[in-house]
Structure 1
Amino acid sequence: MINVFQPSLGEKELAAVAEVFESNWLGHGPRTKAFESEFAAHIGADPEQVVFINSCTAGLFLATELLELGPGDDVVMPSVSFVAAANAVAATGARPVFCDVDPRTLNPTAAQVESALTARTKAVLVLHYGGYPGDIAAIAELCRARGVKLVEDAACAVASRAGETACGTFGDLAVWSFDSMKVLVTGDGGAFYARDPELARRARTLAYHGLEQSSGFSAAKVSHRWWELNVRNFGRRIIGNDVTAAIGSVQLGRLPENIARRREVAETYDRLLSDAAGVRLPPPLPEGHTGSYYFYWVRLDPAVRDQVAADLLDRGIYTTFRYPPLHRVPAYGATHLRLPGAEEAAETTLLLPLHQGLDDTDVRTVADELRKAVENRSADPAGGE
């Protein structure tokens, strides 16, 4: 099976984990701090602004808590986004307000975000679809002008930049995902960023039960009764650990070569499919933008998209669509909305395999099989059934 996502792990990651085992300190410790510093340097932030956490989803929930969202608050977000973002907002009692997206980039424009703002808007929460930075600079400027907070879901954008600025650092808060399907993999895990130092300090405390001290062992060096608790805020346990952080450090070192290979795969698809009838390719990155090449998506006639996906699966090629529009989910109370860009994307978009483990033969196979499936289904949409 040629998978749509696939991590690349090897001897270096095993050696890093072995070192953690040998140290006999598996929890939140020195390797966690090291990875936080390394990731902070990668995005151009101070290490104190970055917290290594156990998942991007946990970071989204932490962001809504730091923003003190609740009933009566609105949060604008693109309908084409991961369910975790809407869940994090809705769980507070605040209302997710969905905006449309450009069906080519699947990212919202600043104008689309602005059109969804209400008098009760407290924050905007944007996704960088597939690692494309999108209209993030203009959206950040809009949020500053309107006095609303900007949260970046940079789960797909670990190496993405608009100009010299890393995605995730345009806004007030940001999260990244390092789960088993992402570009940088720690198994489970994520990073949380806060622009404001005080919010960053509070995030770090809330990520570990609201405790002011991260461990009794470290507190023993400065207190004669180190076992006593000092809790001012009610937190939970969402911190990362040294095992996954050690993997993350190795993966961060591999990131440039992995991104380079993913770019090669995307460019090869561009070349092989440029004249494929019935296949529309993703738009090129704007000048000055750098992507993470997390998704490679094509747009097909909605009459054949699903059958093409099934045909490819029969040929050993797994494809998918992410993310189904959230305004169609009844739980969020927005099924009355009509968002034509998001709806068009949901009916036409298909993600092709894209990861650094693909060899040139795999890429050619995917492109050739896609061509044949589209041609066959376009000639006979029912497939002779």
Structure 2
Amino acid sequence: MINVFQPDLGQAELAAIAETFASNWVGYGPRSARFEAEFAAHVGVPAESMIFLNSATSGLFLAVDLLGPGPGDEVVVPSQGFVANANAVLAGGARPVFCDVDPRTLNPTVSDVERVLGPRTKAVMLLHYGGAPGDVVAIADLCRRRGIPLIEDAACAPVSTVDGRRVGSFGDLAVWSFDSRKIITTGDGGMLYVRDPDLARRANRLAYHGLQDRSSFTTAAKGARRWWDLHLDEPGRRLIGNDMTAAIGSVQLARLPGFVRRRRQIAQAYDDLLHDVGGLRLPAPLPAGHTTSHYFYAVQMPEPVRDAVAEELLGQHIYTTFRYAPLHRVPIFGGADLPGTDEAARTTLLLPAHQSLSDAEVRRVAEALRTAVERRLVPARAG
């Protein structure tokens, strides 16, 4: 099977795990702190503002908790997003209010966001679809002018930039994902960025049971009398990452430029191989100054054709998919009239685009897609 998502792991990651085993400490410790500092430097933010967690989902839940929404409050979320976005809002006691997206980019415009802001809006949560930055600059400016915190879900955007500035650094809080399907992986894991220093310190406490000093439960006690005593101001959860996964993360982060370089080559190859397929729309060009992580390569075609093409390719052991199912169509979250999102969900298909694909596999996917699309669209168009 040619997969849509696939990790790229090797001997360097195994060696990092072996070193962690040899240290006899696999919980949160020096490797976790190093990975936090490395990733913060990669994004261009202070190391103390970055927290390594067990998942990006934990980061989303914690970000909402830090902002303190409650009954009657609302958080704006693109319907074209992952279920964790809306789950985090609901779990925090607020109501997700879904905004529409551009049907070509699958990212919301600033107008889409502004249209659903209201007096009860507690925050805006912005997903960078497939790694493309979208309208983040204008949305961040809108949020600042309105005094509304912005949470960036940069799970798919570890290297994406606008005018040289990393996505994730525009908002007040941001998360990145390192799960098994992401460009870099720690198996499971994520990063949370918190711009405000006081809020970042609180996030660190809440990520480890609410304790003021994590060293009380490690071998790092500094000789204080009765270091095992609890110092707790508010309850928290156990959301932190560990040194074993952080060791993998440090290796993966060093390999990230090569990963994205290969993904860029694959995207260019698809552009070259598929540009003349009638009825098939390729990804929209990025605006000037924008770069993407190339997490998705999304093509679009009419809905009945899209579904039939996906089934045909699956029969040839080529896995394609659509991410993410529109949240406003999920009954638990409530409905909305979002035509751009609905159009995108009917027509979009994600092709295999991970860095482990060979040139031959890319050609195989493109040729199979061309044949499947032209079989259904060319005769109808000619008639």
Structure 2 length-normalised TM: 0.97
Could you tell me whether the CA contact under 8 Å between 1:73 and 1:121 is conserved in 2?
Answer: yes
Query: Secondary structure of 1:304's match?
Result: helix
Could you tell me whether the CA contact under 8 Å between 1:219 and 1:226 is conserved in 2?
Answer: no
Amino acid at match of 2:344: A
Moved over 6 A (4+): none
Could you tell me whether the CA contact under 8 Å between 1:205 and 1:235 is conserved in 2?
Answer: yes
- Name the counterpart of 2:343: 344
Could you tell me whether the CA contact under 8 Å between 2:159 and 2:292 is conserved in 1?
Answer: yes
- TM superposition shift of 1:162: 0.8
How far apart, in 2, do the equivalents of 1:253 and 1:241 lie? 18
1:105-157, CA deviations, whole angstroms, 9 ceiling, x for partnerless residues?
00000011000101111100000000000000000000001110100000010
Amino acid at match of 2:339: P
- Name the counterpart of 1:184: 184
- TM superposition shift of 1:378: 2.9
Matched, 1:146 2:128: no
Amino acid at match of 1:229: L
Matched, 1:95 2:95: yes
Could you tell me whether the CA contact under 8 Å between 1:213 and 1:219 is conserved in 2?
Answer: no
- Name the counterpart of 2:298: 297
- Name the counterpart of 1:358: 357
Amino acid at match of 2:199: L
- Name the counterpart of 1:159: 159
- Name the counterpart of 1:274: 275
- TM superposition shift of 1:278: 1.4
- Name the counterpart of 1:120: 120
Amino acid at match of 2:311: A
- TM superposition shift of 1:198: 0.6
Could you tell me whether the CA contact under 8 Å between 2:278 and 2:378 is conserved in 1?
Answer: no
How far apart, in 1, do the equivalents of 2:100 and 2:127 lie? 12
- Name the counterpart of 2:236: 235
How far apart, in 2, do the equivalents of 1:362 and 1:354 lie? 10
Amino acid at match of 1:363: V
Query: Secondary structure of 1:215's match?
Result: helix
How far apart, in 1, do the equivalents of 2:267 and 2:54 lie? 30
Matches within 5 A, 1:5-44: 5-44=5-44
- Name the counterpart of 2:319: 318
How far apart, in 2, do the equivalents of 1:47 and 1:267 lie? 35
Amino acid at match of 1:16: A
How far apart, in 1, do the equivalents of 2:33 and 2:220 lie? 17
Which runs of 5 or more structure 1 residues have no equivalent in the other structure? none
Matched, 1:63 2:63: yes
- Name the counterpart of 2:259: 258
- Name the counterpart of 1:52: 52
Query: Secondary structure of 2:64's match?
Result: helix
How far apart, in 2, do the equivalents of 1:378 and 1:29 lie? 57
- Note closer, same or farther for the CA distance 1:380–1:71 as it changes in structure 2 (3 Å cut): farther
1:179-208, CA deviations, whole angstroms, 9 ceiling, x for partnerless residues?
000011100000000000011111111000
- TM superposition shift of 1:219: 6.0
Could you tell me whether the CA contact under 8 Å between 2:278 and 2:377 is conserved in 1?
Answer: no
How far apart, in 2, do the equivalents of 1:220 and 1:265 lie? 50
Could you tell me whether the CA contact under 8 Å between 1:98 and 1:327 is conserved in 2?
Answer: yes
- TM superposition shift of 1:303: 2.0
- TM superposition shift of 1:380: 7.8
Q: State, as a whole percentage, how many aligned pairs show the same letter.
A: 63
Query: Secondary structure of 1:294's match?
Result: coil
Amino acid at match of 2:297: Y
How far apart, in 1, do the equivalents of 2:122 and 2:146 lie? 10
- TM superposition shift of 1:375: 1.5
How far apart, in 1, do the equivalents of 2:16 and 2:93 lie? 42
Which runs of 5 or more structure 2 residues have no equivalent in the other structure? none
1:197-255, CA deviations, whole angstroms, 9 ceiling, x for partnerless residues?
01111111100000111122466314110010001111000100000000000000000
Could you tell me whether the CA contact under 8 Å between 1:297 and 1:352 is conserved in 2?
Answer: yes
Could you tell me whether the CA contact under 8 Å between 1:300 and 1:349 is conserved in 2?
Answer: yes
Matched, 1:369 2:368: yes
How far apart, in 2, do the equivalents of 1:271 and 1:379 lie? 19
Amino acid at match of 1:324: A
Amino acid at match of 1:375: E
Could you tell me whether the CA contact under 8 Å between 1:101 and 1:342 is conserved in 2?
Answer: yes
Amino acid at match of 2:68: E
How far apart, in 2, do the equivalents of 1:196 and 1:222 lie? 31
Amino acid at match of 1:198: D
How far apart, in 1, do the equivalents of 2:223 and 2:284 lie? 56
- Name the counterpart of 1:245: 246
Query: Secondary structure of 1:75's match?
Result: strand
